[in-house]
Each structure stands twice: as structure tokens, then as C-alpha cells.
Structure 1
Amino acid sequence: MTYKTVLLVLDANQFEADLTAAADLCAAASAHLSVFLVKVAAPPQFGDYAALSLAWLDIRAAEIEQLDKAVVSARTTLNGLGISFDVACEYTETAWDDDLIGERARYADVTLIGASMDPSLQTRAIEGALFYSARPVLLATNRQSVTLLPKRILLAWNSSFESTRAAREALDMMKKAESVNVVLVDPTAASRRNGGEPGADVATYLSRHGIHVTVDRLPSAGRQVEEVLKQHALDTSADLIVMGAYGHTRLRQRIFGGVTKAMIEAPVVPVLMVR
């Protein structure tokens, strides 16, 4: 699809680099930038007789003031850049910050997560957007490398529901790209999943949309799937990896690891994830 509204989720500490990079991205794509600044409240502290600590109340007041200043700063920065934008904020508790982010993401086409966020908040923001918005998330370690107009795309394909949604979500991007590599790692020919020629079905589907497709069937050779995908993205000079997210449960991913977890933690090129 064409992305006309980009949600940028930031915390209220260090966000200027993410903000200006997102503004550049939206300017290049003629998209509206919707900034959502999030501050997670400090956990309650109790004094004598189980009363709330006055020091904790002072901390909360300071955090709210910091959030208000961050909103003013973000608006000031964006006012001079000539793009369409809005800035909102939320002072919230850890228990429901992912829900709030997911709800906000429903009214955007794609969600960007600040690269400078606190790691625990960043993880919850990604999961909130993926699980509670039905919208894709765009991730990158180097925010300056992110674009909504990639020239070379790697589509990670395993015939799953999640990868099918990812392919459909990125159709417009792939139509405009110069090349699209559909990558299967250790595919097995089977009528129920990959067919007699793994990758042929999805390549035919994409070709009917006018997309120039190359199918790469790669052996893992003992490596993790995410390692194969990352290396192939570098080898093909991909601007973007498109992939389905959380084919397994979040609990299993956290305990045993998985492709989604690995790509979130260390993307070598920008990654568009779809749940």
C-alpha cells in the first residue's frame, strides 16, 4: 500500500536524531508525520505507614514536566521543516504502554520506533504496534538509512500466514523497486507449503503485479535463518527486508530466540515487519 501517515514512537529523553530522520523520510514520500512521545511512569515508592513517598510524587511531577517540554521541542523542530505533522504524548504505566501504542498505530499506515529509546520500552512499543494495530513496523539501527521508496528489496518467504501478509503489505513498494529478491532458506518441496518448486508460486503472484522477481533458495549450512537473511541482504545491497513477524508465540521467542527477535535486536538494513 501507499504510506500517507507515518507514526513515530519516541520516549521523552533523546529523540532529536530520530525525529529529524523521520521528517526527512516523510518529506521524501509526501507523507504526514504523527509523533507519539511516551513517558513510562516511575514505579510507586512508599514511605512510612505504607503512604506514598513524597519523593516519588516529586519524581512523577518532574517526568510530566519533561514530557511537556519534549512535546514543545518536537513541535518547534518540525515547524521549521515544512512537512505535515502532529505531536501527541502520553504519560503511562508499564502495564499498558504497549496497548496505547497499538491503539495509536491503528490510525497510521506504518509505525517507526525510535532507535534511541530505552530498550525495554522499545521492545514493548514494537510488540504493541505489531500485535494491537494490524499495521506494519519499520525498524532500523541507523535511522538515516530508512526509506519508504527502497530500490532493492529482500522478501523473506516461508509460505506462512505472516510472510503472506508481509508480501501483500509491501506490494506498492515492490512495484516501484528496481529489484526484489524472494529468499527461502532451506526450502522443502511440498504440496502443502512451497509446492514442487519452492518460491515459484509467490514469484508468479508478484510478477502478475508487474514486479521484477528473483527467487533465491539458500542453504543455511548450519547457520541461523536470520544470519542467512542478513548476509544475503548485504550481498544483494538490499535497502529493505520485508518479513512476517512472530510466527511463533512471543513467549517461545523470548525463551528460545527466533528470527523475529534476532532481526529486532540487530537489523543490518531496515526491516519492514508485518504480523
Structure 2
Amino acid sequence: MAFKSLLSVAGADHSDRDVRTAASLCAEVGAHLSVLIMSPPPLVVSPSLLGDGIPEWPRQRAHAIAAGEKPYRPIERFSQDAASLEKTSRQIHKLLRATWRCYDVDVVNCDQASVGDAVRARALCNDVTIVGPALLNDINVGPLVINGSLFDTGKPVLVVPEGAEATLCPRRVLVGWDSRVEASRSVREALNLLAGAEEVRVALVDPETTCAGNGAEPGADIAAYLTRHGARVSVDLLASAGKSAATVLAQHAIDTSADMIVMGAYGNRRLRERLFGGVTRSIVGKPSLPLFLAR
């Protein structure tokens, strides 16, 4: 499927760097850009939690009062966030008018529990969500956005870590394959860019030859599927030699000069603090390549 509508999510206190990245991707493939600007969750003052899971800001407020300082007030914070959102919106409009005209910008000021739903509603009506370095490194908003756009929609996410060259037209792509549903969905969602690549390498780490799993010839089935869609495919069977699958795939991406890694996203959606699980989480930024994920 060709990508015709991209979603970029940014925090009100982020720079415009992630939006610039998304705009460049839209220009590359001729897509519409939807930007969602979100405030940090008002109640997240510290990552520390009390024993019952309640955010620590009430305790901090009591300490501030005892010390004669101005206490934290959620209502004041909410008003400040609204003003910050409006300022960021004006800046993003100005940026996009100068760089990319096919866009829309929306703002939402919501509490922590509503972040995922707000992102989900937008991601459902876009082809792919772009996660840039600023959002990826935001411990308050980033995990909630990833859960909302990836785990709750079935839509893909393109992660662009620090130092990566963002592209939706890669020349060489490494596909991490393990015959699981998530891997199959990532390949299906990435078919357009895989068919357009000069080289697609399907990598399997320590595959077992079984009729029910990888088949009698591991990787042959997915290679045939991709070939039918016009991709130029080769299959690499990799031995872990005691290393993690993430380490092996990351090194193979370097060895093959890959421009992008395509793989399934694995993780428990109930663990809201996690960006990704298992291999997926370990490979982000190692090496610094765009990571195309689906679940």
C-alpha cells in the first residue's frame, strides 16, 4: 500500500525537529501530513509512584507548602499547557506553510489516561505514524503515543531514532522474520517500500526447520510471497552464537548496509510504560536506522 497520509505526534515542549522529519518524508512520497500536538500529562510530575500507584505530586505539594514554596496546582498547569499548545501550533503552522503545504494541525490537552485514545483516533485515519527522536526520548508522552498508535490500531509505526536518516524509499531493507503474525503484518504493511527497494534481505535467527513453523526451508515461503509482489529478495539464515537476536539482527543490518529494518512489534499492551518488547525494544537505535514496525 502506498503511503498517502502520515501522522506526526509532538509534545508542546518539543522542538519542531520531529515535524520536520515527517514533512520531509511526506515530500519524499507525496503524502499528506497530519500533526497532533499534545501536552505532557498534567499529573506526571515525577516518575516515582507511591505504593498504591498514585503519582507522587500530592506528596510534593505537601512538602512545598511546609517549605513555604508555591505548591503545584494541576489547574494552573493545565492552563499553562493550553497556552504552550497554542504557541507550538502557531510555530508548526508557520514551519509547514514554508516547507510542505499538504497538512493539517490539531492540538489536544488531555490527562495521562486519555493520551492513547487521542492518538489512536488519529492513527486509525492515517497510513503510518512517524516517531522521531524527541518523542522517542520523552518518558512522559512517548510510551503512551506508541501504545496508542501501534498496539491499539493495527497500523504501522516508523521509528526514526537519533542519527537515523529518515526515508520511506529505502534502497536496501532488512526484514526480521520469525513466522509470527506480527512479522507477517509488518511485511504486509511495508509491501510498497519493499517492492520498490533495490534489495530486500529476509533474516532469520536460529530458525528451526518444522512443518508448522518456518517450514522445511526456512524463509522460502515469505521470500516467495515478496517476490510475487515485485520485491528482489534473498534469505539469510543467521546463527546467534549465544548472542541475542537483537544483537545479531543489528549487526547484520550494518554488514549488509541496510537503510531500514522491517519487523514485527512484540510487547504486552497492558504494560503501558514499555515502548516495545523483546527484540524490538532492544534494537531501537542499534544501529541508528529507521525501524518500520507493525503488530
TM over 0.5: yes
Contact 2:40 2:140 in 1 (8 A): no
Q: For 1:167 and 1:140, how far apart are their aligned partners in 2?
A: 18
User: Residues of 2 paired with 1:3 and 1:95: CA distance?
Assistant: 30
Paired residues of 1:40 and 1:97 also in contact (CA < 8 A): no
Question: In structure 2, what is the Cα distance between the partners aligned to 1:96 and 1:265?
Answer: 28
In the alignment, what sits opposite 2:153? 133
Identity %: 40
Cα distance change on mapping 1:246 and 1:26 into 2, 3 Å? same
1:69 alignment counterpart: 87
Q: For structure 1, which runs of at least 5 residues remain unmatched after alignment? A: none
1:138-164 deviation digits (Å, cap 9, x = unpaired):
002137611111111111100001111
- Deviation of residue 173 (structure 1)? 0.8
CA distance in 2, matches of 1:212, 1:59: 53
**What is the CA-CA distance between 1:264 and the residue it aligns to?**
4.0
Does residue 8 of structure 1 match 2:26? no
Displacement after TM superposition at 1:168 (Å): 1.1
SS for the counterpart of 1:181 is strand
Pairing of 1:105-254 with structure 2 (within 5 A): 105-117=123-135, 118-142=138-162, 145-246=165-266, 251=271
The alpha-carbon deviation at position 202 of structure 1 amounts to: 0.8
Quick one: distance in 1 between partners of 2:236 and 2:268? 24
Is structure 2 residue 59 aligned with structure 1 residue 59?
no
CA–CA distance in structure 2, aligned partners of residues 121 and 253 of structure 1: 10
CA–CA distance in 2 between the matches of 1:172 and 1:266?
25
How many residue pairs match? The answer is 270
C-alpha displacement at 1:248, in angstroms? 6.0
* RMSD of aligned residue pairs (Cα, Å): 2.4
Give the aligned residue type for 1:69: K
> Could you say which residue in structure 2 is the equivalent of 1:104?
122
| One-letter amino acid matched to 2:40 | V
Aligned equivalents of 1:247 and 1:64: distance in 2?
33
Deviation readout 1:92-119 (Å, 9 max, x if unpaired): 1111211211121001000012311322
Q: 1:78 aligns with which of 84, 89, 96?
A: 96
Structure 2 gaps, min length 5: 44-56, 66-70
SS of the equivalent of 2:133 reads coil
Cα offset for 1:253? 10
Structure 2: distance between partners of 1:249 and 1:62 = 31
Distance in 2 between the 1:249 and 1:101 partners? 15
121 and 252 in structure 1: CA distance in 2 versus 1, 3 angstrom threshold:
closer
**TM-fit CA distance, 1:60:** 2.0
Does the aligned pair in 2 maintain the 1:253–1:261 contact within 8 Å? no
Structure 1 contact 141–266 (Cα < 8 Å) conserved = no
> Secondary structure of the residue that 1:3 maps to in structure 2?
coil
More helix by share: 1
TM-score, structure 1 as length reference: 0.91
Cα shift readout 1:219-274 (whole Å, capped 9, x = no counterpart): 011111111111111111111111111166664995x9611221347562110000
Measured in 1, the distance between the counterparts of 2:264 and 2:239 equals 20
Deviation digits for residues 64-105 of structure 1 (CA, Å, limit 9, x no counterpart):
101110001100111111430111011111112112111210
Secondary structure, aligned partner of 1:112 = strand
Residues 268 and 277, structure 2, Cα contact 8 Å, conserved in 1? no
What CA distance in whole angstroms lies between the structure 2 residues aligned with 1:252 and 1:190? 35
